[in-house]
Amino acid sequence: MHPTLVNGYDGFGGVHDNLVWNQQDGWVAYTLHNKVIFETVKTREQTILCDSASQLSTVALSYDKRLLAVGEGRPHSRTGNSLIYLYDTVDRKLLQRYTFHQRGV
């Protein structure tokens, strides 16, 4: 079986603000577990990026809509750090990974 469309809702378990919409260019981007999905609104064509092994939590779109920042919601067990991924929304590819530290509560 080869799916042609991924669809889902990841709004439970600590995920929040995980969808952005670029109305002018006609696409949405959202997270689904460890994937970033860019979807063209009219055709439903998708680009699925899987650069993380951890659950993704939050996305933020730059003012000019060319950059998408995506943050992991859980630290990696080996390092205790989580990553922020920076994507190019035009080419729909990963530009950079940044690490940040989550302190225990």
CA distance 78 to 19: 29
CA distance 30 to 10: 9
Question: Per the domain annotation, does 46 fall within a domain?
Answer: yes
The answer, yes or no, to whether residue 92 has pLDDT greater than 80, is: yes
Question: Per the domain annotation, does 3 fall within a domain?
Answer: no
Q: How high is the pLDDT of residue 105?
A: 45
How many structural domains is the chain composed of? Answer: 1
Question: Per the domain annotation, does 11 fall within a domain?
Answer: no
Give bridge partners of residue 27 from the DSSP assignment. 22, 40
Q: Does 79 or 39 have the greater pLDDT score? A: 39
Q: Residue 104 — very low, low, confident or very high, per pLDDT cuts 50/70/90?
A: low
The answer, yes or no, to whether residue 38 has pLDDT greater than 90, is: yes
Mean pLDDT (the chain) is 85
What range does the domain containing 96 cover? 19-101
CA distance 82 to 64: 26
